[in-house]
Amino acid sequence: MSEVDLIEGFRDPEHMKALAALIKKECKSKINIMEVCGGHTHTIMKFGLSQILPELIEFVHGPGCPVCIMPKERIDHAIALASMPNTILATLGDMIRVPGSKTSLQKLRAEGKDIRSLYSPLDVIKIAQENPDKNVVFFAIGFETTTPMSAVLMQHAIENKLTNVFFHINHVTVPEAVEAIMSRGDALIDAFLGPSHVSVITGYKIYEPIAEKYHTPIVVAGFEPTDVMESVLRIVRQVNEGQSVVDNEYARAVSREGNLKAQALVNTYFEKRSHFRWRGIGDIPNSALKLKAEYAAYDAEIVFDDVLPKTELNDHKMCICGDILKGRAKPFDCKVFGKACTPTNPMGSCMVSSEGACSAYFKYGNLNLKGARA
Amino acid sequence: MSKKILLSHGGGGEETQNLIKELFFKHFDNEILLRMEDAASLVMQSTKIAFTTDSFVVSPLFFKGGNIGKLAIAGTVNDLSMMGAKPKYLTCSFMIEEGFEYAKLEEIVISMRDEMAKSGVKIVAGDTKVVPRGGVDGLFINTAGIGEIQYEGISAHNLAQGDVIIVSNEVGNHGACILATREEIELESDLQTDCASLWKPVEALINAGVKIHALRDATRGGLSAVLNEWAETSKVCIEVDEAKIPVAQEVKGVCELLGFEPYEFANEGTMVICLPQSEAKKALDVLQKFPETAKCALIGKVTTAFTCKVVLHTPWGSERFLEPPKGELLPRIC
| CB of A190 closer than 8 Å to CB of A162 | no
> Is there a cis peptide before residue A195, judged by omega within 30 degrees of 0?
no
Q: Are residues B173 and B316 in the same domain?
A: yes
To the nearest whole Å, the CA of B83 is away from the closest chain A CA by 31
The answer to the question of residue B218 being in a domain is yes
The answer to the question of residue B103 being in a domain is yes
Distance CA A253, CA A231 (A): 15
Residues of A whose CB is below 8 A from B317: 17, 51-52
| CB of A199 closer than 8 Å to CB of A258 | yes
Residue A291 exposed, middle or buried by CB count within 10 Å (0-12, 13-18, 19+): buried
Mean pLDDT of B44-66: 93
- Give residue A3's pLDDT band: very low, low, confident or very high (50, 70, 90): low
| CB of B190 closer than 8 Å to CB of B65 | no
What pLDDT, on a 0 to 100 scale, did the predictor assign at position B275?
A: 98
- Is pLDDT at A371 greater than 60 in this prediction? no
Mean pLDDT of B5-28: 93
The answer to the question of residue B60 being in a domain is yes
Residue B33 exposed, middle or buried by CB count within 10 Å (0-12, 13-18, 19+): buried
Task: Please enumerate in sequence order all residues whose Cβ is within 8 A of that of A269, keeping only pairs 6 or more positions apart, or say none.
Answer: A150, A151, A154, A155, A291, A292, A295
DSSP readout, A208-274? HHHHHHHT--EEEE-SSHHHHHHHHHHHHHHHHHT---EEES-TTT--SS--HHHHHHHHHHEEE-S
The answer to the question of residue B232 being in a domain is yes
| Closest CB from B314, B330, B334 relative to A47 | B314
Which of A148, A149, A145, A214 is closest to A179 using CA atoms?
A214
| Closest CB from A3, A45, A94 relative to B253 | A3
| CB of B10 closer than 8 Å to CB of B135 | no
Task: Please enumerate in sequence order all residues whose Cβ is within 8 A of that of A87, keeping only pairs 6 or more positions apart, or say none.
Answer: A81, A113, A114, A134, A135, A136, A137
Chain B contact probe: residue of A11, A41, A172 with most B CBs at under 10 A: A11
Spell out the SS3 assignment of B255-320.
HHHHCCCHHHCCCCCCEEEEEEHHHHHHHHHHHCCCHHHCCCEEEEEEECCCCCEEEEECCCCCEE
Residue A309 C-beta-side C-alpha neighbours within 13 Å: 17
Residues of B whose CB is below 8 A from A7: 249, 252-253, 256
| Helices (runs of H) and strands (runs of E) counted in chain B | 10, 13
Listed range (B270-274, B300-304, B330-334) with the worst mean pLDDT: B330-334
What pLDDT, on a 0 to 100 scale, did the predictor assign at position B283?
A: 98
- Is pLDDT at B189 greater than 80 in this prediction? no
What pLDDT, on a 0 to 100 scale, did the predictor assign at position B102?
A: 96
Hey, is A100 helix, strand or coil?
coil
Residue B111 C-beta-side C-alpha neighbours within 13 Å: 21
To the nearest whole Å, the CA of A327 is away from the closest chain B CA by 21
Chain A CA closest to residue B250: A3
Quick: pLDDT tens for A40-98: 998 999 999 999 999 999 999 988 888 889 999 999 999 999 999 999 999 987 888 88
Spell out the SS3 assignment of A158-173.
HHCCCCCEEEEEEEEC
- Give residue A2's pLDDT band: very low, low, confident or very high (50, 70, 90): low
Percent residues over pLDDT 70 in chain A: 96
Q: b vs e for B81-106, b when ≥16 Cβ sit within 10 Å of the residue's Cβ?
A: bbbbbbbbbbbbbbbbbbebebebbe
Mean pLDDT of A270-288: 94
Chain A CA closest to residue B303: A374
To the nearest whole Å, the CA of A16 is away from the closest chain B CA by 6
Contact A52 B327 (CB under 8 A): no
**Helices within B82-150 (DSSP H only):** 102-119
Which of A99, A150, A164 is closest to A289 using CA atoms?
A150
> Looking at per-residue confidence, does A225 or A367 come out higher?
A225
What pLDDT, on a 0 to 100 scale, did the predictor assign at position A200?
A: 95
Residues of B whose CB is below 8 A from A118: 184
Task: Please enumerate in sequence order all residues whose Cβ is within 8 A of that of B14, keeping only pairs 6 or more positions apart, or say none.
Answer: none
Q: Are residues B212 and B239 in the same domain?
A: yes
What pLDDT, on a 0 to 100 scale, did the predictor assign at position B184?
A: 67
Residue B221 C-beta-side C-alpha neighbours within 13 Å: 16
Residue A305 gets which letter from DSSP? G
DSSP readout, A143-202? STTTHHHHHHHHHHHHHTT-SSEEEEEEEB-HHHHHHHHHHTS----SEEEEEHHHHHHH
Residue A312 carries which side chain, given as an amino acid letter? Answer: E
Chain B CA closest to residue A195: B334
- Is pLDDT at A339 greater than 60 in this prediction? yes
What pLDDT, on a 0 to 100 scale, did the predictor assign at position B197?
A: 98
The answer to the question of residue B299 being in a domain is yes
What pLDDT, on a 0 to 100 scale, did the predictor assign at position A328?
A: 86
Residues of B whose CB is below 8 A from A356: none
- Is pLDDT at B254 greater than 60 in this prediction? yes
Q: Are residues B88 and B183 in the same domain?
A: no
What pLDDT, on a 0 to 100 scale, did the predictor assign at position A1?
A: 44
For position B207, which CATH number holds? 3.90.650.10
Residue B88 C-beta-side C-alpha neighbours within 13 Å: 19
Residues of B whose CB is below 8 A from A200: none
What pLDDT, on a 0 to 100 scale, did the predictor assign at position B334?
A: 58
Residues of A whose CB is below 8 A from B243: 13
Break chain A into its structural domains and give their ranges: 1-64+184-194+205-252+315-367, 72-171+259-307
The answer to the question of residue B94 being in a domain is yes
Residues of B whose CB is below 8 A from A67: 333
Domain span including residue B113? 36-149
Hey, is B334 helix, strand or coil?
coil
Domain count, chain B: 2
| CATH topology (fold) of A1-64+184-194+205-252+315-367 | Rossmann fold (3.40.50)
- Give residue A34's pLDDT band: very low, low, confident or very high (50, 70, 90): very high
- Give residue B332's pLDDT band: very low, low, confident or very high (50, 70, 90): low
CA A48 to each of CA A362, A365, B1, B255, B318: distance values in angstroms, whole numbers, following the listed order: 13, 9, 59, 18, 5
Percent residues over pLDDT 90 in chain A: 72
Contact A52 B184 (CB under 8 A): no
For position B143, which CATH number holds? 3.30.1330.10
Size of interface A-B (CB pairs under 8 A): 109
| Closest CB from B314, B315, B330 relative to A93 | B330
What pLDDT, on a 0 to 100 scale, did the predictor assign at position A243?
A: 97
Distance CA B17, CA B10 (A): 9
- Is pLDDT at B1 greater than 70 in this prediction? no
> Looking at per-residue confidence, does A327 or A284 come out higher?
A284
Listed range (A147-151, A339-343, A369-373, B270-274) with the worst mean pLDDT: A369-373
Contact A94 B333 (CB under 8 A): yes
Distance CA A249, CA A19 (A): 14
Q: Are residues B182 and B236 in the same domain?
A: yes
Q: Are residues B179 and B69 in the same domain?
A: no
CATH architecture of A72-171+259-307: 3-Layer(aba) Sandwich (3.40)
> Looking at per-residue confidence, does A93 or B262 come out higher?
B262
Contact B316 A141 (CB under 8 A): no
- Is pLDDT at B160 greater than 90 in this prediction? yes
Which of B7, B41, B4, B36 is closest to B20 using CA atoms?
B36
Residues of B whose CB is below 8 A from A141: 333
Contact B306 A373 (CB under 8 A): yes
Output the CA angle B191-B322-B328, nearest 5 degrees. 60
Residue A114 CB neighbour total at 10 angstroms: 16
Going by their DSSP bridges, the two strands A165-171 and A135-142 should be labelled as parallel
- Is pLDDT at B308 greater than 70 in this prediction? yes
Mean pLDDT of A4-30: 90
The answer to the question of residue B84 being in a domain is yes
Whether the complex's predicted ipTM is more than 0.85 is answered with: no
Q: Are residues B128 and B243 in the same domain?
A: no
Residue A75 CB neighbour total at 10 angstroms: 26
Q: Are residues B226 and B126 in the same domain?
A: no
- Is pLDDT at B122 greater than 70 in this prediction? yes
Q: Are residues B167 and B265 in the same domain?
A: yes
- Is pLDDT at B139 greater than 60 in this prediction? yes
What pLDDT, on a 0 to 100 scale, did the predictor assign at position A280?
A: 85
Q: Are residues B170 and B121 in the same domain?
A: no
The answer to the question of residue B45 being in a domain is yes
To the nearest whole Å, the CA of B78 is away from the closest chain A CA by 30
Distance CA A130, CA A163 (A): 13
Q: Are residues B131 and B243 in the same domain?
A: no
Q: Are residues B170 and B274 in the same domain?
A: yes
Distance CA A4, CA B252 (A): 9
Q: Are residues B129 and B183 in the same domain?
A: no
Task: Please enumerate in sequence order all residues whose Cβ is within 8 A of that of B21, keeping only pairs 6 or more positions apart, or say none.
Answer: none
Chain B CA closest to residue A367: B320
Distance CA A12, CA A16 (A): 6
Supply the mean pLDDT for chain B: 94
- Strand-pair partners of A270: A291
